[in-house]
Amino acid sequence: MLASRVAPDPEWSLDPGWAPLFAAVRRCSPLFAAVRRCSPLFAEVAVRPLDATQSDALLAARGAPAEQRGPFIAFAGGSPLALSLAASVPAAAPGAPWEPTGDLPSAVHRHALEVVAQVYVTREPLLRAVLGETDTATVLSWLRQQP
């Protein structure tokens, strides 16, 4: 299976083995209107955000408490990954409002999380460059302990 947010590189369509299959995809593609079988090997599938009903069903299946589902849905914007991650975090206390990040030890820790969210690999020299004169070894150790 190949999956991507963008079409395959045009060079793939020049390969003699793949070219007939790409031609079949181009002939039948109404630009992701729905699942559409184009050839025995290719299908275009639109991957759109879940609506509120679908999001609620996913959260229910993941065992998220009913009172937390609304904030989860508002936070995730229909992303199944974000919904699943939010549902996997236990509530701080019964009835406590849910927050996406919970309590962080400091603003430096929050900044370190922002770095992790933006880069592919986070190492101590990068954190030191971004965070400045803070104890980056301690912050990196804390990051390693996070789920």
pLDDT (average), residues 48-73: 90
Query: How many CB atoms neighbour CB 2 within 10 A?
Result: 7
- CA dihedral (26, 30, 31, 32) in degrees, to 10, reads -110
Whole-number pLDDT of residue 23: 60
63: alpha, beta or left? (left if phi > 0; alpha if psi -120 to 50): left
Structure pTM? 0.48
Name residues whose C-beta falls within 8 Å of residue 133's C-beta, 6 or more positions apart in sequence. none
The two structure tokens encoding residue 68 = 């937390």
Q: Taking a C-beta distance cutoff of 8 angstroms, is the pair 115, 130 a contact? A: yes
Instruction: Point out which residues pair with 37 in neighbouring strands.
Output: 43
Q: How confident is the model at residue 60 (pLDDT cuts 50, 70, 90)?
A: very high
Whole-number pLDDT of residue 146: 80
pLDDT above 60: residue 66: yes
Q: Beta strand pairing status for 36-37 and 43-44?
A: antiparallel
Q: Which amino acid is at 70?
A: G
Chain centroid, CA 84 distance in Å = 10
Higher pLDDT, 78 or 41: 78
Indicate the domain borders of the chain.
10-44, 52-88, 107-144
Alpha-carbon span 64 to 60, nearest angstrom: 6
